[in-house]
Homo-oligomer: A and B are copies of this chain.
Amino acid sequence: MSVTAAKGFQAAGIAAGIKANGNPDLALVVNSGPRRAAAGVFTSNRVKAAPVLWSEQVLKGGAVTAVVLNSGGANACTGPQGFQDTHATAERAAEVLGHSAGEIAVASTGLIGVLLPMDRLLPGIGQAAAELSEHGGEKAAIAIKTTDTVHKTAVAGGAGWTVGGMAKGAGMLAPGLATMLVVLTTDADLDTPTLDKALRDATRVTFDRADSDGCMSTNDTVLLLASGASGVVPGYDEFADAVRTVCADLARQLIGDAEGASKDIRIEVVNAASEDEAVDVGRTISRSNLLKCAIHGEDPNWGRVLSAIGTTSAAFEPDRLNVAINGVWVCRNGSVGDDRDLVDMRFREVVITADLAAGDASAVIWTNDLTADYVHENSAYSS
């Protein structure tokens, strides 16, 4: 279903030869209208890849007719030549599709610090355009994979309208945003400001709260394109709910496919003084390598949760903290609680609940365990 679930979109995914192993590496998503409204959210990393710098400019215009995405190279830290390559990519797509380059977004993922093989990428755009199809969403989702073991798609919607999307991302996943490329499409008949608000409302509580390894990417891009092809104008709440549902679904899939992970960890911070503090505490817990190793070993080592909480500036009293792991309150009032042997950690999902006893705000952060496989994937070869 992916990006072609909504009416008015065509997509393709092909092997252009950017990846040495011959796997699919170039995707094209085209909005055939009648509307071409679009919103985007990008990495908050100050070191931004060339395609991010380019697409940020494109999105300022509020209209996107097509997105060119490549895996096999991030085109980050590639200097003026890298930016020229992104520009040339948009120009080639504009030429092939008969649109303005100023409405063509570009997204790249892969190794940082390497120039893209433009002699293969540019011809690939023509090839992808020739394969554009209303059923091409799956192929596009497959072409943007890097170390992902599966491609990720999701769909939601209402009466007569649909939101669909695809995502890639498996490592360098951290808030603001995770390392990922995401394209969402909808046939709802909505303008750019509405799309922008719905997208920001959704990413704030989904992708921004997935933190696999604390490492923020240079390339994160989340785009939402509206074709208006359904002719339906859903109410804001209903539409925002669908966008959030698709984002949450994709974010959950990203965590579930994180590099080397054997456990998905849901960190619930409750009774915080504010939502911001709940998020801060959740992220800090999610970044404790020691805790992530313990979870990998199915060890309910709650001391590592407390030592992480203690490094934050959130409101709490150490002797009022409570921590549950998979529902067993192993820490009560900052001290030894129920028997840790009662904690059953055999399943993939692990829930850590941190009760700050300081207010009534809460937040959920998703992360995963730290494993030898993660180390292997990120040390055995460049990525």
Contacts and interface: CB of A to CB of B under 8 A. Distances in A.
A63 B310 CA distance: 28
Interface stretch (A137-145, A184-192, A212-220): A212-220
A32 interface: no
Contacts of A287: 214, 287
Interface in A279-312: 287-290, 293-294, 296-297, 299, 301-304, 306-312
Interface stretch (A13-21, A22-30, A366-374): A366-374
Interface stretch (A112-120, A156-164, A246-254, A267-275): A112-120
A297 B377 CA distance: 10
Which secondary structure dominates where chain A touches chain B? loop
A376 interface: yes
A45 B311 contact: yes
Interface in A71-93: 74, 76-82
Interface residues of A, number: 68
A378 B288 CA distance: 11
Contacts of A308: 215
A82 B335 CA distance: 9
Nearest to A172: B290
B288 A215 contact: yes
A379 B304 CA distance: 12
A321 B76 CA distance: 13
Contacts of A48: 310, 318
Contact of A293 (B113, B294, B302, B379): B379
B306 A112 contact: yes
A372 B370 contact: no
B297 A336 contact: no
Contacts of A77: 302-303, 306, 331, 334-336
A319 interface: yes
Closest 6 CB pairs of A and B: A112-B303, A79-B335, A297-B379, A47-B310, A293-B378, A372-B372
